[in-house]
Amino acid sequence: MPKSDDERLALIRTLLAIADGGSPHQPERELARARAEKLMLRHSLDEAAVRMTHEQAHEPVRVDTPMTGSWVLDRISLRSAVYAAFGCQALRVRRGTVTELVAFGFAADVSMATVLADSLEPQMLTEMAAHGGRPADKRAFAAGFTMVVARRLAAFYAEVLTEAESEGTSSALVVAERGARVGAAVAREFPHVRQSTRRLTGRGWDAGAQAGSRADIAVSGRKVGHGTNRAIGA
């Protein structure tokens, strides 16, 4: 395992080069992609520990995203689940006739989550359209897709934390502290958040869950083929 930031970044670049075609063997490319993504996530956690030690004044950022078009609630649910996997919190906010997704988190986490959500959202919408059925069926499909994607991300994140702890990095403490600071930022700006639940009556959940299990996920933001789901713990 590389000890310095420069060594780690050099290793990540090498792994990505292998994953992007540097090896003629698909299993080697898949393994390189998985290792690179774990190192990138670990790198973010290590930087967080340094910031909390030397830059206590650093605060979470807020990103407001207008949500327009169709299936707004389903898209918000997916994006919120992705943000949550990276230690961020997202709220649905109505401003007149406009619905916004307001996300809070540390800049690196928000950036990674946004890139990943931007990749997953069109995948979900494409799969929903292909599945067809009534609107209620499509909403159930989206819920199944979101649930499985969230589980895959949570499993991957837990695996990375376990590896970090085994190497003596107090990543769990870093994540807990960052989560508390993100929660405080949300409470300051939205002190009266109301929880809401949706009742799903359609029959698309199972199909959506299957689509979520095969969704292409790459923490680095690069496209990953359908055969590389193991990169995020499918």
Neighbours of 147 (CB within 10 A): 17
**pLDDT score, position 3:** 57
Q: Give pLDDT tens digits for 198-207.
A: 778 888 999 9
**pLDDT score, position 2:** 53
Bridge pairing between strands 89-95 and 61-67: unpaired
SS3 content of the chain, % helix, strand, coil (to 5): 65, 10, 25
| Angstrom distances, CA of residue 33 to CA of 15, 26, 220 | 7, 11, 9
- Cα–Cα dist 138/54, whole Å: 48
- Cα–Cα dist 218/41, whole Å: 11
Q: Which residues of the chain have pLDDT under 70?
A: 1-6, 8-9, 40-58, 160-174, 218-234
Residues spanned by the domain of 136 = 5-232
CA 188 to centroid of chain Cα atoms = 24
Number of domains in the chain: 1
Q: Which long-range contacts (CB under 8 A, 24 or more apart) does 22-27 make?
A: 26/227
One-letter amino acid for residue 49 of the chain? A
- pTM: predicted TM-score of the whole model, two decimal places: 0.71
